[in-house]
Structure 1
């Protein structure tokens, strides 16, 4: 999977090199569906990027006339910070080495000062992160969509599969995301259950952002809630101990 920020940069590169592309063409380049492309375009517009929508039969997307993307130049500290962030993202399961990490690191190396390039390639070999490796990868699209919804205080519609394999549709007020003991969790108010709930991100099958807004409860401690909800869940394993005494 690709981390969504990589796709946003790829869209800008594609529009810069091709001039104008349809949603279908961008979807083919990025290996996603057209709906995902439209969502990425909204993200770019929200970020202030000069992306224009051309209406009509021969419409599509393009960069605003006369706009040129400036070259990206990193200082040593900025480049190393980005590398550490990419390595941590792979460790936390929001991107994978095979799909996106190596490509992203190569792009950073290309724009980094020449004397820093060797250091960038060596950082991963010299770095040890005492962070639990993600037990399951989560979709980069789901991760970004939920993060944005929590930031904007927008409700989300989820298709969720529980531990028993039962699938349910949930309308949720997303309060935020938590990474703990190797898994990502969404905490929020579930309108189906009429109460606070935590959801494992790897069990979310589908997400749709809704127009409904919500208010975050004052003094809500998301980490404490998620850890408490995990502790309340029944254990998957049972342990038997046999003692031999004399």
Structure 2
């Protein structure tokens, strides 16, 4: 039926699956004699597995309470998926889990046979994972507590801060948590508004899981809801408007959450950020650039420079010092918010 090593592993699997197993039951399952079963039990004990029980013909065997041996055998695809998944945690903004991910990766490597370990390491070294600069870091402990509340259908309470309103205490029946466009969201019924709302986890503090229980709507699609309420430009505008090219004197990570990535190409360049895309309304885009509060250079189009010139004339008309707007190849800085 099996080779001896597989039979020993089968004994371990049966012991983990059942509270107790008699010697006769193991003998029938393995198609061996009761005396051979005793040898397999002794082999497990020699390996440090805490098997307890009598070794006689009619003895019953059990694992020490609380002992569980995780599965240690993976196929090549399973091992690679685990290794890449651990490396990709930072793509979800869960940088706080990096130490745990490194420890788990080391444990995984120790469990793999030498040949498979070398294969997985070679495949890992051939892959580069680049996190978007717009991924927002999220408190892993907060996410864990929130997911526990979702699973138990328990109401949560937290302090929520947003640019549009001061900090408020919110009590919410969270139906789902999800990651979309670099941010984690919680979606559910807000008690304050008595309506469906979404909340960014990076704006939550002081999360508490309450004893209140709720019933979530069946088959609730949080992703569809979130996509329906998040602002997005009309598809028709994707290729409309003049092509812009602006260099910003700030690295991409400093602009995170301040520059829209919709139909916009963002890349690091010369210690700063190159922004490319199309904008239909340059009169609105010019003050937006000023509101970023960093030096920048407009390389194209000329129409954007003209928009800055008009803005400078307006500033001079109301007595703002330094009006006149930037010139091509120059820089601009403004202290007001965008």
TM category, shorter:
0.5 to 0.7
Which residue of structure 2 lines up, in the alignment, with residue 221 of structure 1? Answer: 221
Deviation at 1:128, TM superposition (A): 4.8
Deviation at 1:125, TM superposition (A): 2.9
Higher Cα Rg, which structure: 2
Give SS of 2:285's match. coil
Distance 1:123 1:201 in 2: 34
Deviation at 1:81, TM superposition (A): 2.5
* 1:131-169 Cα distance to aligned partner (Å, 9 max, x none): 856622212111222122212211111122212572221
Distance 2:132 2:181 in 1: 6
Distance 2:209 2:215 in 1: 16
Which residue of structure 1 lines up, in the alignment, with residue 181 of structure 2? Answer: 181
Which residue of structure 1 lines up, in the alignment, with residue 285 of structure 2? Answer: 239
Distance 1:130 1:137 in 2: 15
Give SS of 1:186's match. strand
2:155–2:209 Cα contact (<8 Å) kept: yes
Which residues in structure 2 correspond to 1:1-246 (within 5 Å)? 66-70=65-69, 72-76=71-75, 77-96=77-96, 98-128=98-128, 132=132, 135-164=135-164, 166-231=166-231, 238-240=284-286, 242=303
2:96–2:140 Cα contact (<8 Å) kept: no
2:154–2:214 Cα contact (<8 Å) kept: yes
Distance 2:203 2:102 in 1: 27
Distance 2:116 2:199 in 1: 41
1:94–1:137 Cα contact (<8 Å) kept: yes
Deviation at 1:215, TM superposition (A): 1.9
Structure 2: stretches of 5+ with no match in the other structure: 1-62, 233-256, 260-283, 287-300, 307-338
The one of the two structures with greater contact order (alpha-carbon pairs below 8 A, sep at least 6) is 1
Deviation at 1:185, TM superposition (A): 0.9
Distance 1:87 1:123 in 2: 13
Deviation at 1:106, TM superposition (A): 1.0
Give SS of 1:224's match. helix
Give SS of 1:231's match. coil
Distance 2:85 2:167 in 1: 34
Provide closer, same or farther for how the CA distance between residues 134 and 210 of structure 1 changes in structure 2, counting only shifts above 3 A. Answer: farther
* 1:112-140 Cα distance to aligned partner (Å, 9 max, x none): 22222223333433235588566222121
Distance 2:89 2:224 in 1: 23
RMSD (Å) for aligned C-alpha atoms = 3.0
> How many residues are paired up?
179
Give SS of 1:166's match. strand
Deviation at 1:107, TM superposition (A): 1.4
Structure 1: stretches of 5+ with no match in the other structure: 1-63
Q: TM-score, normalised by structure 1?
A: 0.61
Q: TM-score, normalised by structure 2?
A: 0.46
1:93–1:138 Cα contact (<8 Å) kept: yes
